[in-house]
């Protein structure tokens, strides 16, 4: 009985604390910068989850893909149903794990980021997803300071999500939110191939 009372008291105190924090917090008067990184699954799919949320509110969304997948993906098929609200860009040839052509990869990543900056500065979008841009940074196809400056030059209305493993520390410092997906277990380790509807 005593424990139950103590528990109730502790919960009440937590609730008070939380209420106070919520009351003191302010509404953002600008778009936010989110980084999804880490070696576990969920970086891109979480970003697309946010895109679905934004679409639900009638927001305008753009996706720039820095790695061109050769696979047809479920997210692309789905978002194609919202041509007025969501604009999808896969840059040129893009780069893939197997191009092994440094100059071409740098050119593709640079063109993709130039397009991204135009989109972020346009004032036409509430949310911009730079999918796998961290990979382009990791291989030095893009310069982190230039990417930071580009993101900071965005229209005040625009939030940006940058995804991919091995996010650069300077980028994470600049972001409002950083989430690290941590691999505990992944079916690939058990020899299971990527699955339609789950992985793509």
- Residue 11, φ and ψ in degrees, nearest 5: -65, -40
Tell which residue, 191, 90, 78, has the closest CA to residue 132: 90
Answer for which of 40, 87, 104, 124 binds ligand ATP (CB under 6 A) is 40
Identify which of residues 75 and 126 has a Cβ nearer to ligand ATP in the complex: 75
Q: Which is nearer to ligand ATP, 112 or 181 (CB)?
A: 181
Please enumerate in sequence order all residues whose Cβ is within 8 A of that of 107, keeping only pairs 6 or more positions apart, or say none.
92
Q: How far apart are the first and last CA of the chain?
A: 51
User: Is the Cα torsion angle 9, 12, 14, 17 positive or negative in sign?
Assistant: negative
Contact 200, 69 (CB under 8 A): yes
Residue 71 as a binder of ligand ATP (CB under 6 A): the answer is no
Interaction mask 119-138, ligand ATP, x per CB under 6 A = -------------x------
Residue 44 binds to Mg ion (criterion: CB under 5 A): yes
Least distance (Å) from ligand ATP to the CB of residue 160? 16
Q: What is the widest separation between alpha-carbon atoms in the chain? A: 71
Binding track, positions 149-168, relative to ligand ATP; x by CB under 6 A = --------------x-x---
Distance of CA 153 to the CA centre of its chain: 18
Quick one: which segment of 16-24, 39-47, 77-85, 172-180 binds ligand ATP (CB under 6 A)? 39-47
Among 43, 48, 162, 167, binds Mg ion (CB under 5 A): 43
Q: How far is CA 98 from the centre of its chain?
A: 24
Nearest approach, Cβ of residue 43 and Mg ion (Å): 5
State the DSSP H helix or E strand holding residue 89, giving kind and residue range, or none if neither.
strand 86-95
Site for Mg ion in 140-169 (CB under 5 A): none
Contact between 34 and 177 (Cβ < 8 Å): yes
Q: Which residues of this protein are in contact with ligand ATP, per CB under 6 A?
A: 39-45, 132, 163, 165, 181, 183, 186, 188, 194, 199-200
Q: Which residues of this protein are in contact with Mg ion, per CB under 5 A?
A: 43-44
């Amino acid at each position: 009985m005593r424990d139950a009372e103590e528990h109730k008291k502790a919960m009440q105190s937590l609730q008070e604390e939380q209420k106070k924090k919520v009351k003191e917090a302010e509404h953002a008067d600008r778009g936010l910068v989110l980084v999804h990184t880490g070696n576990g699954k969920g970086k891109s799919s979480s970003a697309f989850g946010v895109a679905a949320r934004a679409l639900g509110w009638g927001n305008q969304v753009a996706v720039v893909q820095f790695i061109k997948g050769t696979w047809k993906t479920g997210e692309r098929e789905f978002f194609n149903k919202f041509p007025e609200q969501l604009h999808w860009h896969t840059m040129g040839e893009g780069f893939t794990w197997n191009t092994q052509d440094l100059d071409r990869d740098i050119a593709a990543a640079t063109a993709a980021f130039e397009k991204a900056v135009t989109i972020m500065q346009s004032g036409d979008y509430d949310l911009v997803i730079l999918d796998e841009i961290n990979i382009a940074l990791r291989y030095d196809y893009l310069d982190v300071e230039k990417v930071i400056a580009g993101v900071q030059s965005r229209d005040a209305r625009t939030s940006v999500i940058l995804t991919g493993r091995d996010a650069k520390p300077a980028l994470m410092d600049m972001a409002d939110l950083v989430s690290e997906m941590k691999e505990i277990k992944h079916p690939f380790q058990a020899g299971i191939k990527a699955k339609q509807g789950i992985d793509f």
